């Protein structure tokens, strides 16, 4: 009896995704509704192992509601930096309960890293990039291990730095899926009303983009919704959505 050929294991060194994959996805779903794209991504497994990355901020309920309508067990990664508003933590719990989300993963910075690099807890006041690195970028990088793609709530109208973003983007060798890329503020408001979704309690006080408490301020009339983040600093992103942070003698942190 012939011996069954032995299966040879090989290490797959190819990237998860390439620019060509992103182009095909954007072309395939051009003109499709947001709901249809989300359903295809989650039900067909188009992006492999995927998680929503949510701040549970002012507009987060819309994306979470859309995802929950397809699969409420979809992993949802929330970065608890240790500097969040209590209102945000309470809002997170409200939305998880209201939408029946069962895949919440709350991720926190490593205590040893905080002790070594921000023992006073005041790094935000003199080095906001460094604070975001240890409290957001590094924890998310660890949380993304084993995942192939992230789903974000980024929208083009939020700031000039986000204008024209595509539904699918290459993020290293992963894909970043932005279902609400072309939604307007009016679109979001209509969805909140139609679905009777609860609002973040700080929104009524003028906080239109809500991150860590020390670096979030009220948005003034006429400003971009994200103008209240890191006010007074030449900084518009935390590092999660943008160029990797590179420090002398270190590898890039994506």
Q: Which residues are marked as active site?
A: 238
- Tokens representing 196 are 């009777």
CA distance 254 to 244: 5
**Is 35 in a helix, a strand, or coil?**
helix
Adjacent-strand bridge partners of 106: 78
The token duo for 2 is 């012939």
Distance of alpha carbon 71 from alpha carbon 67, whole angstroms: 6
DSSP character at residue 3: P
51, 75 Cβ separation under 8 angstroms: yes
Beta-carbon contacts of 130 under 8 Å, excluding residues fewer than 6 positions away, are: 117, 118, 123
Name the strands in the sheet holding 174-177, side by side, starting at the edge strand that comes first in the sequence: 104-107, 76-79, 50-53, 149-151, 174-177, 168-171
- Look at residue 40 and give its three-state secondary structure: helix
User: Residue 253 — φ and ψ, nearest 5°?
Assistant: -105, 115
Pick from 52, 155, 145: nearest CA to 95:
52
């Amino acid at each position: 009896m012939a011996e069954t050929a032995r299966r040879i294991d090989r290490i797959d060194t190819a990237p998860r995704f390439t620019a060509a994959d992103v182009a095909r996805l954007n072309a395939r779903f051009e003109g499709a509704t947001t709901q249809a794209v989300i359903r295809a991504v989650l039900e067909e497994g188009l992006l492999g192992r995927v998680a929503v990355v949510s701040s549970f901020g002012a507009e987060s309920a819309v994306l979470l509601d859309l995802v929950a309508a397809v699969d409420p067990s979809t992993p949802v990664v929330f970065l608890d930096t240790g500097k969040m508003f209590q209102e945000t933590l309470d809002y997170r719990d409200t939305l998880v309960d209201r939408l029946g989300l069962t895949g919440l993963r709350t991720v926190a910075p490593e205590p040893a890293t905080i002790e070594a690099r921000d023992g006073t807890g005041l790094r935000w006041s003199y080095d906001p990039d460094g604070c975001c690195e240890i409290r957001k970028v590094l924890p998310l990088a660890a949380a993304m291990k084993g995942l192939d793609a992230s789903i974000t709530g980024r929208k083009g109208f939020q700031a000039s730095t986000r204008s024209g973003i595509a539904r699918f983007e290459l993020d290293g060798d992963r894909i970043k899926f932005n279902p609400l890329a072309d939604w307007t503020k009016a679109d979001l408001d209509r969805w909140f009303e139609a679905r009777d979704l609860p609002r973040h309690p700080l929104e009524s006080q003028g906080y239109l983009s809500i991150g860590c408490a020390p670096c979030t301020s009220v948005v003034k009339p006429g400003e971009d919704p994200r103008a209240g983040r890191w006010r007074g600093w030449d900084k518009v992103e935390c590092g999660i959505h943008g160029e990797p942070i590179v420090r002398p003698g270190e590898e890039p942190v994506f």
